[in-house]
Structure 1
Amino acid sequence: MTDLSSYAGARLPDDAPLLGRLVELRRLDPVAHADDLFAAQSAGDPRLWSYLPYGPFADVSALSAHLRAQAVAEDPWFYAVVVDGAAAGVVSFLRGDAANGVIEIGHIWFGAALQRTPAATETVYLLARHAFDVLGVRRLEWKCDAANVRSRAAAERFGFTYEGTFRQHLIVKGRNRDTAWFSIVDGEWSRVRAGFEAWLDPANFDASGAQRASLAALRA
């Protein structure tokens, strides 16, 4: 068993932006981001809100009210995903447990233009890198509705390990949610980080933008 007697715990997120080559994660600001996020919501993914406890939003005013509540929260801690100066989605850290060095990525929604892009992958990489390398966590979690095939596939693609399903865990929008749990732990992070960085390297893409090697292959 690893001796953790000297482990001082993890930090919790703060206002510092997380900056990548393709995206910037900036503290959610309803004034600056509402119009962009409403446009992202309206860009053609009918399943965007299927598994989240809120949304869709009928107009900018309704979304702005929702964002105002999220922007003042400390747990979850919300970021806008900014691409080329416009907010294209939202992510968060939540359930931060500083003493035990655990935090979760959640409340993820990407507008259709951001989905399945290198920018989306870089978003998750920036969160994971910040969690392990700056906050100092021992465990990074990803949880989703067990019926959410897209989220489960994304978690596994990003290097999270499936740990099991909590049956009848929540009631969301009037229906049962079984919750699938995934994690990356600190002993795995160097391999997972190397895979992300190799995949995100511009050399991994051909002239048409197609990947040369998959993220799973590069992580292996």
Structure 2
Amino acid sequence: MINAFGQPIGTPVSDWTARAEPPHTPLSGHFCRLEPVDVDRHMEGLYGAYSSAADGRDWTYMSAGPFADAASFRSHLAKAAASRDPLHYAIIDLATNEPVGMLALMRIDRGNGVIEIGHVAYSPLLRRTSAATEAMFLLLRHVFDDLGYRRCEWKCDHLNAPSRAAALRYGFQYEGIFRQAVVYKGRTRDTAWFAMIDLDWPTIRAGFERWLAPENFDADGVQRLSLANWIAAQRAPTEQRSGDPAQGE
């Protein structure tokens, strides 16, 4: 787009209004349910799930933890339950009806329709399960389909290789490094930024839906095709139709 002064400008956004504040209500799927964090309901289960880890390495890149005892974790959980930005959820495994992890919506920018998924803390009981992937799908679907946000972000310490890999697996695109962006736990953090936008979401959603479908798993519950492959498969026809020069050369 070119304005009256011959300057390039961004695409107009017609009829834009601020997005709604995310309601703190449960989100349900086939493998898990996301519930607003509640100390009385989730404390014992979450502390047990996190305590099943062999050591505290899962908290190295988190702003909180590891926790020396149940009392310190209860204090952390109480702060999470009282917060509305970040907006914390407990992940409930429907097979056991027990909490097995947490994640949050945060940095909620209603005016621009931007929101971030953060404070992702999966216990050993949740990692590498269908519920772990579905939890992210439920929150992304809520952000884009229910609330109509335009952009969802994922940020992490650039040294946190598992988090960076997870962002790419879920369909976020890498956008760069913000140097010396944060001081936490007495050390500096260069922050890696990832994001997806509403234009990306339909193909990513289709990839998640194909991955979560029963036919994607064998009799032992092992995936037939990875989430990254399903998302790539949904993207490929669109890229070919758009004349992407990387296709067919």
Give the structure 1 partner of residue 237 of structure 2: none
CA distance in 1 between partners of 2:14 and 2:178 (Å) = 31
Contact 2:32 2:92 in 1 (8 A): yes
CA distance in 1 between partners of 2:229 and 2:67 (Å) = 39
CA distance in 2 between partners of 1:115 and 1:17 (Å) = 21
When the two chains are superposed, the root-mean-square deviation of aligned CA atoms in Å is 1.0
**Which protein has greater RCO, CA pairs closer than 8 Å, 6+ apart?**
1
Q: 1:78-137 CA deviation, whole Å, 9 max, x = no partner?
A: 000011311101100000000100000000101101012111000100010000001110
User: Which 4+ residue blocks in structure 1 deviate beyond 4 angstroms?
Assistant: none
Give the structure 2 partner of residue 178 of structure 1: 190
Give the structure 1 partner of residue 181 of structure 2: 169
Contact 2:106 2:118 in 1 (8 A): yes
Identity of aligned residues (%): 48
Which of 15, 23, 29 matches 1:20? 29
* DSSP 3-state at the match of 2:31: coil
How many matched pairs? 220
Contact 2:24 2:87 in 1 (8 A): no
Which of 97, 101, 105 matches 1:85? 97
Where do 5+ consecutive residues of structure 1 fail to align? none
Contact 1:9 1:137 in 2 (8 A): no
Contact 2:178 2:191 in 1 (8 A): yes
CA distance in 2 between partners of 1:18 and 1:2 (Å) = 33
Whichever residue aligns with residue 14 of structure 1, its letter is: P
* DSSP 3-state at the match of 1:187: coil
Give the structure 1 partner of residue 206 of structure 2: 194
Q: Over alpha carbons, which structure has the higher Rg? A: 2
Q: TM-score, normalised by structure 1?
A: 0.97
* DSSP 3-state at the match of 1:91: strand
CA distance in 1 between partners of 2:159 and 2:37 (Å) = 28
Where do 5+ consecutive residues of structure 2 fail to align? 1-9, 233-249
Q: Which moved more, 1:199-208 or 1:4-13?
A: 4-13
Give the structure 2 partner of residue 58 of structure 1: 68
CA distance in 2 between partners of 1:28 and 1:205 (Å) = 31
The equivalences for 1:34-183 within 5 A come to 34-46=43-55, 47-83=57-93, 84-183=96-195
* DSSP 3-state at the match of 1:8: coil
Q: Which moved more, 1:173-182 or 1:39-48?
A: 39-48
